[in-house]
């Protein structure tokens, strides 16, 4: 009851102050319109997590306004807090990219000091990856394989199972075989090793980059390339179509030559998304 009385007293004070009532009503109207259009935009773009964050910010700001007796103090607290959180929301991709770059810098430097590759071993890795992708494509087995420069953050690697195994089509296909424990996650390939499997990836928030009909697997495959300098090889379990995502963009219907070209660049030129 004390809280309700306090809220009632605040509103009575608002409307009992000449000159403030009109300004307050206009402010509420403007705020309501902004809230409505922003919420409609977020819902239209399926940004469920952003909707929840935005609602939480508004609730916190409203509570601060109600509990602080001085209106100027309430605004001084609520407005900067709202702008800070909204900035984090609007630039979440850029912030993730900076964080991932910092956490993966050491391993990336180590990776770039490449020893001379054994030609036969590299060609075998390329052949095995392509073979696995095409076999899974024929059997409509969904998969995400990430080509890494040793720059995938530990939080992504630790979300799956570390393997450090040699690359083989049999192992790749067994990992993604339906109903197996790791089949829903991503496989991380680092040089000539399968570094981890069953890893969870950040989803793309830019739905304009995702063609209609593509689901969570493709959204994850694109999302990781928006924040980290990697390439995603994606197999659709619905259609068997093989896609390649890099730099936040996706190319579908990758054939043998396209896959071979991508993998040759990865192993021999160290090129991934083209930002190097």
pLDDT at 160: 95
pLDDT at 35: 62
Q: Are residues 156 and 249 in the same domain?
A: yes
Q: Are residues 124 and 227 in the same domain?
A: yes
β-strands 193-199, 231-235 pairing: unpaired
pLDDT at 162: 96
Assess if residue 224 is contained within a domain. Answer: yes
Give the domain-ending residue among 71, 90, 109: 90
100 C-beta neighbours (distance < 10 Å), count: 21
Which H or E element spans position 131?
Answer: helix 119-138
**Backbone angles phi and psi of 106, in degrees to 5:** -65, -45
pLDDT at 119: 83
Kindly give the confidence (pLDDT) of every residue in the chain, 276 residues in length, as a single tens digit, with 9 standing for 90 and above.
565 666 566 656 655 555 455 555 665 566 666 666 665 655 555 455 555 666 666 666 666 666 655 555 555 555 666 666 666 555 555 555 555 555 555 444 444 444 456 788 899 999 999 999 999 999 999 999 999 988 898 889 999 999 999 999 999 999 999 999 999 999 999 989 999 999 999 888 777 778 888 889 999 999 999 888 899 999 999 999 999 999 989 999 999 999 999 999 998 876 544 443
Q: Are residues 241 and 144 in the same domain?
A: yes
Q: Are residues 126 and 260 in the same domain?
A: yes
Handedness of CA 32, 34, 36, 42 (dihedral sign): negative
The gap from C-alpha 169 to its chain's centroid, in whole angstroms, comes to 28
Assess if residue 101 is contained within a domain. Answer: no
Assess if residue 274 is contained within a domain. Answer: no
β-strands 143-148, 186-190 pairing: parallel
Assess if residue 110 is contained within a domain. Answer: no
Rounded distance between C-alpha atoms, residue 7 and residue 9, angstroms: 5
Q: Are residues 79 and 125 in the same domain?
A: no
Assess if residue 112 is contained within a domain. Answer: no
Q: Are residues 78 and 126 in the same domain?
A: no
Q: Are residues 134 and 171 in the same domain?
A: yes
Q: Are residues 34 and 129 in the same domain?
A: no
The gap from C-alpha 230 to its chain's centroid, in whole angstroms, comes to 13
pLDDT at 113: 43
Question: Looking at the 3D structure of the chain, how many domains does it have?
Answer: 2
Q: Are residues 154 and 241 in the same domain?
A: yes
Give the tokens for residue 65: 């306004």
Rounded distance between C-alpha atoms, residue 152 and residue 195, angstroms: 10
Assess if residue 195 is contained within a domain. Answer: yes
pLDDT at 22: 56
Q: Are residues 79 and 126 in the same domain?
A: no
Contact 234, 245 (CB under 8 A): yes
The DSSP annotation for 26-64 comes to HHHHHHHHHHHHHHHHHHHTT-HHHHHHHHHHHHHHHHH
Assess if residue 111 is contained within a domain. Answer: no
Q: Are residues 66 and 169 in the same domain?
A: no
pLDDT at 193: 94
* Residue 178 structural domain: 117-269
- What CATH number is given to the structural domain containing 236? 3.40.1700.10
Give the domain-ending residue among 90, 105, 135: 90
**Cα 231–Cα 234–Cα 238 angle in degrees, nearest 5:** 165
Give the domain-ending residue among 90, 107, 133: 90
Q: Are residues 121 and 29 in the same domain?
A: no
pLDDT at 102: 54
Assess if residue 26 is contained within a domain. Answer: yes
159 C-beta neighbours (distance < 10 Å), count: 15
């Amino acid at each position: 009851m004390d809280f309700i009385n306090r809220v009632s007293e605040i509103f009575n004070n608002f409307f009992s102050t000449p000159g403030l009532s009109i300004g307050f009503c206009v402010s509420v109207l403007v705020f309501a319109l902004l809230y409505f259009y922003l919420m409609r935009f977020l819902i239209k773009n399926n940004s469920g997590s952003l909707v929840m964050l935005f609602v939480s910010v508004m609730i916190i700001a409203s509570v601060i306004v109600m509990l602080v007796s001085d209106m100027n103090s309430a605004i001084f607290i609520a407005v900067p807090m709202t702008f800070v959180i909204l900035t984090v929301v609007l630039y979440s991709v850029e912030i993730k990219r900076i964080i991932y770059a910092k956490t993966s810098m050491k391993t990336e430097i180590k990776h770039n000091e490449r020893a001379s590759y054994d030609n036969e071993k590299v060609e075998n890795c390329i052949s095995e990856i392509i073979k696995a992708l095409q076999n899974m494509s024929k059997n409509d087995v969904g998969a995400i394989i990430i080509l890494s420069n040793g720059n995938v953050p530990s939080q992504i690697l630790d979300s799956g199972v570390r393997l450090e195994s040699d690359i083989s089509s049999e192992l790749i296909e067994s990992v993604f075989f339906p109903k197996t424990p790791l089949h829903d996650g991503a496989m991380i390939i680092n040089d000539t090793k399968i570094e981890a499997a069953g890893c969870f990836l950040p989803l793309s928030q830019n739905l304009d980059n995702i063609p209609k009909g593509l689901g969570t697997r493709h959204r994850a495959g694109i999302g990781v390339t928006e924040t980290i300098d990697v390439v995603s090889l994606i197999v659709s379990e619905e259609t068997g179509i093989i896609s390649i995502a890099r730099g936040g963009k996706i190319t579908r219907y990758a054939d043998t030559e396209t896959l071979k070209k991508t993998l040759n660049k990865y192993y021999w030129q160290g090129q991934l998304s083209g930002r190097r």
